[in-house]
Amino acid sequence: MSLPQQDLTLEDAKEQLLEECEEIWKHVEECHNKVTFQEIETLPATDPKLSLLLHRVKSLTAEFNQWQKRTPETISTNPDVLVALGKDQLQRLKHDLEMILSTVHAKNKKLKEDLLREQQWLTEQQQLIDCLDQTEKDMSNQVVQFSEKRTLQELKSKMLKIKTYKEELLNALGEFLEKHFPLPGDDGIKKRKTSSSGKQDVQLITLHEILESLINQLINKPHDPYVRIRKSFWLPYIELLLRYGIALRHSEDPSRIRLEDFHQ
């Protein structure tokens, strides 16, 4: 006798289902015993194996036809048992789906956190790149300005050093020439050249002044470095410069001389 639906629990439904299964199993055993104790059919003497196989084919065919005619039946016909079992299956399915849903929510939450973290990292990297680009631009401008300023300062410093060194060389050259190559005369000071008429019409210049004139002409006018020999040039000094290769005459005008290109 089945229990009322409101009082039927899962355990009661299982117990009742087991009872029905036992009854069905007893029925199967009874059928099996009937088949076992049936009178064995006597096979003909001729070709017993063939007759046995034909008999088995007939039996299997009849059983197959019988199963084709039957419709599937539920184990239990008690609706309370079916409802209880259905509720149990639904509870299990609900629990499994809730577990899956919880797992999916956890994965979605973790993915959102990872996405936010990656977006924040990307934003920080972009800000860092922008900062580095700006720093590089500023440093490039500073380097250009600093390089130009430093180059100008270095050039000015070198020019000042060269100018100072030039003055030192000129002073040393002047002292050397005044000491070892003075103008003709006992006192070593500038003398005036006396003409045949006895008049002093030209004032001679020192060897230092002649060299300085040649140097200035070579520096200021490198395309035309020649200087015309004037009456104020003492001829022995000119011959001295030409003999020792310090000065050179013009190939077409012997009255013009130039300083040798010692710097080349």
pLDDT of residue 195: 47
Same domain, 145 and 185: no
| Selected residue with higher pLDDT from 9 and 74 | 9
Average pLDDT, the chain: 79
Q: Is residue 123 part of a domain?
A: yes
Q: Is residue 99 part of a domain?
A: yes
Give the Cβ contact number of residue 208 at 10 Å.
Answer: 16
pLDDT at 6 over 50: no
> Are the CB atoms for 165 and 178 separated by under 8 Å?
no
CA angle 235, 241, 245 (to 5 degrees): 145
Residues in CB range of 211: below 8 A, 6 or more apart: 173, 177, 241, 246, 259
What is the mean pLDDT of the segment spanning 141-157? 77
pLDDT digits (tens, 9 = 90+) for 130-139: 999 988 888 7
Q: Is residue 132 part of a domain?
A: yes
Residue 261 Cα to chain centre, angstroms:
56
Q: Is residue 19 part of a domain?
A: no
pLDDT at 141 over 90: no
pLDDT at 9 over 70: yes
What is the mean pLDDT of the segment spanning 2-24? 69
Rounded CA separation 255/233 (Å): 12
pLDDT of residue 264: 60
Range with the poorest average pLDDT among 51-60, 194-203, 213-222, 249-258: 194-203
**Total domains present in the chain:** 2
Rounded CA separation 3/192 (Å): 159
Rounded CA separation 12/5 (Å): 11
β-pairing, 227-228 vs 200-203, is: unpaired
pLDDT at 41 over 70: no
pLDDT of residue 149: 76
pTM for the whole structure: 0.39
What is the mean pLDDT of the segment spanning 15-36? 76
Residue 170 Cα to chain centre, angstroms:
60
Q: Is residue 4 part of a domain?
A: no
Helix (H) or strand (E) holding 82: helix 79-180
pLDDT at 201 over 80: no
Which structural domain range is residue 127 located in? 93-158
Same domain, 154 and 188: no
pLDDT of residue 104: 93
DSSP annotation of 45 reads S
Rounded CA separation 4/20 (Å): 17
pLDDT of residue 188: 46
Q: Is residue 84 part of a domain?
A: no
Range with the poorest average pLDDT among 143-152, 157-166, 182-191: 182-191
pLDDT digits (tens, 9 = 90+) for 117-127: 999 999 999 99
What is the mean pLDDT of the segment spanning 80-98? 85
Q: Is residue 136 part of a domain?
A: yes
Structure tokens at 76: 């239990």
| Selected residue with higher pLDDT from 256 and 79 | 256
pLDDT digits (tens, 9 = 90+) for 182-196: 877 645 444 555 444
Q: Is residue 258 helix, strand or coil?
A: strand
Same domain, 255 and 186: yes
Q: Is residue 125 part of a domain?
A: yes
Rounded CA separation 66/31 (Å): 15
SS (H, E, C) 109-173: HHHHHHHHHHHHHHHHHHHHHHHHHHHHHHHHHHHHHHHHHHHHHHHHHHHHHHHHHHHHHHHHH
